[in-house]
Amino acid sequence: MTNEYFDHATAPLRIGRVRLRARDLGAVTDFYQRVIGLAVIDQNAERVTLGAATAPLLELVADPSASPRDPRDAGLFHTAFLLPTRADLACWLAHAVKLGVKLQGASDHIVSEAIYLDDPEGNGIEVYADRPVSRWRDAQGNIRMATEPLDIPDLLASGTGDWAGFPEGGIIGHVHLQVGDTGAADGFYRDILGLEIASRYPGASFYGSGGYHHHLAGNIWNSRRAGPRPERAAGLEAVEIIARDPALRKAILARAEAAGITAATNGNSSVLHDPWGTAIRLAV
């Protein structure tokens, strides 16, 4: 991509990998390989790491006895896989249609074009491509986001060639979470992690770093007043957030300590929990 697109490597904070707890490791692994196009980077009987080329994006942890995911709980709304170009998104959509994948929706968000679906255990997925940064803001400089119907014929017309798997340079662009209260979510993701509120919808806050439209989001659409996440429930296990430099991670940990939030630190990685128990792994 040219420099008209957002460069995640320059963001103070960005998403690394997402970890999911899977009741049927084989079925979930097959889905992310076959449908999303991720490659297996490492695997054993208990864990599979998938990614783009050699870059890890998704970890699946086997837990056959985990309780099924409850869509009303706090946790994952969707993991959003960002493709490098609009043509990549068109090729992926044609691939999904050819496979007969059940899609949940397709939206034009002004900042991006997005397709939605679920994995076999009900974990939400977004596959999307960004528009150039110059098209994100209104005359006052505010990021504009909306949920409008996607022009699917126009998108498909931009595709060239066949889908050849999740491309090198593709990343997890953002993770959208379910929370019990948006005010409490702001208190953690904005005030402790230091993310900016880039935009708001009714019942949702969108948090970005370095000017991105959002690296994280939290909504109450299904989970209003949700309590702590059940232990050993299937679904989201952890979200990794990568800090650009050690000083930034140190500042986040200092704010967490001042707020009475305990962090478990091991080397260059620390784990914090949001107000609902969702694990945020802070790495450098």
CA–CA distance, 100 with 35 (Å, rounded to integer): 10
**Residue found by looking up tokens 């084989």 in the block:** 26
pLDDT at 1: 44
10-residue mean pLDDT profile of the chain (284 residues): values are: 83 98 98 98 97 96 96 97 98 98 97 98 98 94 95 95 95 98 98 97 97 98 96 95 96 97 90 97 95
pLDDT at residue number 268: 81
Structure tokens at 47: 């864990």
Token pair 């080329």 in the structure block, residue: 53
**Please, where are the H alpha helices in the chain?**
25-31, 86-99, 152-157, 182-185, 246-258
Q: Which residue has the tokens 């170009």?
A: 85
